[in-house]
Chains A and B, each alone.
Chain A
Amino acid sequence: MPYLLRRFLQSLTLLFVLVSFVFVVGRIIGDPALIMLGTSATETALDQLRENLGLNEPIWRQYLVFLGDLAQGDFGVSFRYGFSMMPSDALRSEGTPVLPIVLERLPATFLLAGTALVFAFALAVVLGCLAAMYPRSWIDNLVNVISLASVSVVQFWLGLILIIVFSVQLGLLPTGGYGSWQHLVLPALTLAARPLGRISQVVRSAMLDELSRPYIAAARAKGVPEWRVVFVHALKNASIPIVTITGDELSQLLTGAMLVETVFAWPGVGLLLIDSLGRRDLPMAQAGICVVAALVILVNLAVDFAYTVLNPRIQMDNRGGRA
Chain B
Amino acid sequence: MRHTLSVLALVAAQAGLAQAAPEGTFTVAVHQEPQDLAAQGVYKEINAPGLRNVLETLIATDPETGEYIPVLATAWERVDDRTVRLTLREGVTFHDGTEMTAEAVATNISFIWSPDSAFTIQEYAGPGVITARATGPLQVEVSSTEPDPMMEFRLTLTGIASARQIEENPAEHFGTPIGTGPYRFEEWARGQYWTASANPDWWGLTAEDAYGETTQQFETLRFVFRPEGSARNAMVRTGEADLATNPSPEDCAAAEGNDGYSCITGPSDAYLYGRLDQSLHAHPALQDMRVRKAIFHALDYEGIADLIGLASVPQGQLGTPDMLGFNDSLSQYEYNPDLSRQLLDEARADGVDVDGLVVEVVGRNTTPRVGSVTEVIGFFLEQVGINTQINVQLPDVFNPRVRIKGYAEEAPRAMMQVHVKQNASGEFGTNLLGNYACPDIDDPSGASRSSVHCNPEFDEKLAKALTLSGEERDAALQELVGFLHGQYPILPLALLDKGYLIGDGYDFTFGVDHRFLAVNVTRAD
Please give the residue numbers on chain A whose beta carbons come within 8 Å of chain B beta carbons, in ascending order.
Answer: 30, 39-40, 42-43, 45, 48, 80-91, 94, 101, 104-105, 108, 160, 163-164, 167-168, 171, 174-179, 262-265, 267-268, 271-272, 274-275, 278-279
Question: In the complex, A188→B302 CA distance in Å?
Answer: 46
Known: A267-B192, A272-B191. A90 touches B35 (CB 8 A): no
- Minimum distance in angstroms from A273 CB to a CB of chain B: 11
Known: A83-B174, A84-B47, A90-B116. A168 touches B234 (CB 8 A): yes
Of all A-B residue pairs in the complex, the 4 with the closest CB atoms, nearest first, are: A267-B191, A86-B118, A88-B118, A175-B234
Question: In the complex, A179→B193 CA distance in Å?
Answer: 12
| Contact B238 A82, beta carbon cutoff 8 Å | no
Contact with A along B230-257 (1 / 0, CB 8 A): 1100110110100000000000000000
Interface positions, chain B 5-52, Cβ under 8 Å from A, are: 32-33, 35-36, 38, 40-41, 47
With A85-B118, A94-B174, A265-B227 given, can you name 4 additional A-B contacts, CB distance below 8 Å? A84-B119, A91-B170, A160-B228, A271-B191
| Contact B40 A84, beta carbon cutoff 8 Å | yes
Q: Is B123 an interface residue (CB 8 A)?
A: yes
| Contact A163 B122, beta carbon cutoff 8 Å | no
Return chain B residues, CB-CB under 8 Å to A88.
115-118
Q: Is B157 an interface residue (CB 8 A)?
A: no
| Contact A90 B117, beta carbon cutoff 8 Å | yes
Return chain B residues, CB-CB under 8 Å to A274.
227
Contact with A along B171-201 (1 / 0, CB 8 A): 1001100000000000001111100000000
Question: In the complex, A25→B64 CA distance in Å?
Answer: 48
| Contact A279 B35, beta carbon cutoff 8 Å | yes
Question: In the complex, A129→B319 CA distance in Å?
Answer: 67
Known: A104-B190, A267-B191. A86 touches B119 (CB 8 A): yes
Please give the residue numbers on chain B whose beta carbons come within 8 Å of chain A beta carbons, in ascending order.
Answer: 32-33, 35-36, 38, 40-41, 47, 115-120, 122-123, 170-171, 174-175, 189-193, 224-228, 230-231, 234-235, 237-238, 240, 396, 399, 445
Question: In the complex, A80→B238 CA distance in Å?
Answer: 33
User: Which applies to chain A's interface (DSSP): helix, strand, loop or mixed?
Assistant: loop
| Contact B231 A160, beta carbon cutoff 8 Å | yes
Question: In the complex, A101→B122 CA distance in Å?
Answer: 27
Return chain A residues, CB-CB under 8 Å to B226.
176, 265
| Contact B35 A84, beta carbon cutoff 8 Å | yes
Question: In the complex, A262→B231 CA distance in Å?
Answer: 10
- Among B118, B224, B238, the residue within 8 A (CB) of A265 is B224
Question: In the complex, A167→B370 CA distance in Å?
Answer: 33
- Among B190, B231, B445, the residue within 8 A (CB) of A176 is B231
Known: A30-B396, A176-B231, A263-B228. A85 touches B192 (CB 8 A): no
| Contact A167 B238, beta carbon cutoff 8 Å | yes
- Minimum distance in angstroms from A166 CB to a CB of chain B: 10
Return chain A residues, CB-CB under 8 Å to B170.
91, 94
| Contact A42 B122, beta carbon cutoff 8 Å | yes
Question: In the complex, A73→B1 CA distance in Å?
Answer: 52
| Contact B192 A177, beta carbon cutoff 8 Å | yes
Q: List 20 A-B contacts (CB under 8 A).
A: A80-B35, A82-B174, A83-B36, A84-B36, A84-B41, A86-B118, A88-B115, A88-B116, A91-B117, A105-B191, A167-B234, A175-B231, A175-B234, A176-B226, A176-B231, A179-B192, A265-B228, A265-B231, A275-B227, A278-B32
Which of A81, A82, A174, A267 is packed against the most chain B CB atoms within 10 Å? Answer: A82
- Minimum distance in angstroms from B402 CB to a CB of chain A: 10
- Minimum distance in angstroms from A216 CB to a CB of chain B: 48
Return chain A residues, CB-CB under 8 Å to B235.
175-176
- Minimum distance in angstroms from A254 CB to a CB of chain B: 17
- Among B115, B190, B240, B399, the residue within 8 A (CB) of A174 is B240
| Contact A262 B32, beta carbon cutoff 8 Å | no
Question: In the complex, A262→B171 CA distance in Å?
Answer: 29
Return chain A residues, CB-CB under 8 Å to B35.
80-84, 279
Question: In the complex, A42→B120 CA distance in Å?
Answer: 11
Known: A163-B234, A176-B226. A84 touches B174 (CB 8 A): yes
Return chain A residues, CB-CB under 8 Å to B399.
39
| Contact A86 B122, beta carbon cutoff 8 Å | yes
